[in-house]
């Protein structure tokens, strides 16, 4: 009986030792219900790849190409409207409709037309302030770029009307406008005075 009791004690001790031991890879291979540790897959998060410089949003895009001077610039729902001076101060170029979904851009004048032949302008008088405008004809329409300030108001934009008259399409600037339109610009480029004048809408 003592020998049998000793044998049972050894068996029970061995069983307890196996129960307390962590399973090994060989144990997992022996058990079809357990995946071996070597089957684990590591997941690597790869950051998105970016190439090139970020493209500025339309509201942050410059009015004029590099090297040109902003003579007039404003933005509205129809896009950007800009009058740009060439690096040699010999030409003025108007560009309009740069926003996504806007009408095809207007570029005027084409070629090397002198500003004195392409534009005409004038000054405006208001109580407590004043203004100025620059005008040109393009594809059967009269385009007038304007700025003005009076008592308690300030306005800038582009007015477009059919030739020789009619109701104008008025595009007021959203936010602050940049403008050098005035007597100094007219004198610099030899821009003639428009006898028709202009009234800010």
pLDDT tens across 123-164, in order? 999 988 999 999 999 988 999 999 999 998 999 999 999 867
Residue 168 covered by a domain: yes
* Tally of domains in the chain: 1
Tokens of 109: 């004048």
Residue 1 covered by a domain: no
Q: Which range of residues forms the domain containing residue 162? A: 63-189
Residue 35 covered by a domain: no
Residue 153 phi, psi (nearest 5):
-145, 155
Tokens of 57: 């949003």
- Tens-place pLDDT, residues 66-116: 999 999 999 988 888 999 999 998 999 999 976 655 566 789 998 889 999
Specify the range with the lowest mean pLDDT, choosing from 2-6, 71-75, 92-96, 195-199.
2-6
Tokens of 20: 């307390």
Tokens of 71: 């003579």
Q: How far is C-alpha 42 from the chain's CA centre?
A: 40
Distance CA 161, CA 195 (A): 17
Domain harbouring 77, CATH code: 2.40.128
Residue 131 covered by a domain: yes
Residue 37 covered by a domain: no
Residue 8 covered by a domain: no
39 contact partners, CB below 8 Å, separation of at least 6: none
Residue 21 covered by a domain: no
Residue 79 covered by a domain: yes
Work out whether strand 92-96 and strand 79-85 pair parallel, antiparallel, or are unpaired.
Answer: antiparallel
Specify which residues 148 forms β-bridges with. 131, 155
pTM of the model: 0.67
């Amino acid at each position: 009986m003592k020998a049998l009791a000793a044998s049972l004690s050894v068996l029970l001790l061995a069983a307890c030792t196996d129960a307390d031991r962590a399973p090994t890879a060989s144990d997992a291979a022996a058990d079809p219900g357990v995946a071996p540790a070597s089957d684990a897959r590591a997941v690597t998060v790869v950051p998105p790849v970016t190439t090139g410089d970020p493209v500025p949003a339309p509201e942050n895009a410059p009015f004029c190409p590099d090297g040109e001077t902003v003579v007039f610039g404003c933005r509205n729902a129809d896009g950007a409207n800009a009058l740009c001076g060439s690096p040699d101060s010999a030409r003025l170029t108007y560009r309009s409709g740069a926003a996504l979904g806007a009408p095809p851009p207007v570029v005027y004048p084409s070629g090397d037309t002198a500003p004195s032949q392409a534009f005409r302008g004038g000054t405006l008088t208001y109580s407590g302030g004043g203004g100025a405008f620059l005008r040109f004809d393009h594809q059967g329409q009269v385009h007038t770029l304007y700025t003005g300030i009076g008592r308690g108001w300030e306005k800038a934009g582009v007015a477009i009307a059919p030739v020789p008259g009619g109701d104008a399409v008025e595009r007021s600037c959203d936010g602050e406008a940049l403008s050098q339109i005035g007597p100094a610009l007219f004198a610099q480029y030899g821009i003639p005075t428009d006898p028709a004048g202009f009234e800010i809408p």
